[in-house]
Amino acid sequence: MIENPFEALFLKLSSIESNTKILSEKIDSLSQESKANNDMLTIQQFSEEYNLCRSTIHKFMKDGRLKYHKFGRKTLFKREDIERCLITKGKHM
């Protein structure tokens, strides 16, 4: 008995669509977890998330009010350090 090639293709396509939907949901879930658990922020992310201008962030860094970590040319901030700085209103720690 010869199989209909279109039926076989249709079954494969249905399987691919199903797997794509599952993967998309997993990616969305991981993305949301990553945002919730993101411990390190760049200056850009910090500025956008906390609605502070970059010059204020740089001033806090320069004055020693905000701890930061350098990785090559990238500057990263721990969320807990950011929140501690903002709670104390930028006063020296």
Q: The whole model's pTM is what?
A: 0.55
Instruction: Give the CATH fold of the 40-87 domain.
Output: Arc Repressor Mutant, subunit A (1.10.10)
State whether the Cα torsion 36-39-44-65 is positive or negative.
positive
What pLDDT, in 10s, does the model give residues 53-86? 999 999 999 999 999 999 889 999 998 899 889 8
Average pLDDT score, the chain: 85
Q: 15-19, 47-51, 75-79, 88-92: which has the minimum mean pLDDT?
A: 88-92
Instruction: Please tell me the distance from the alpha carbon of residue 1 to that of residue 73, in angstroms, as a whole number.
Output: 65
Instruction: Please tell me the distance from the alpha carbon of residue 83 to that of residue 75, in angstroms, as a whole number.
Output: 17
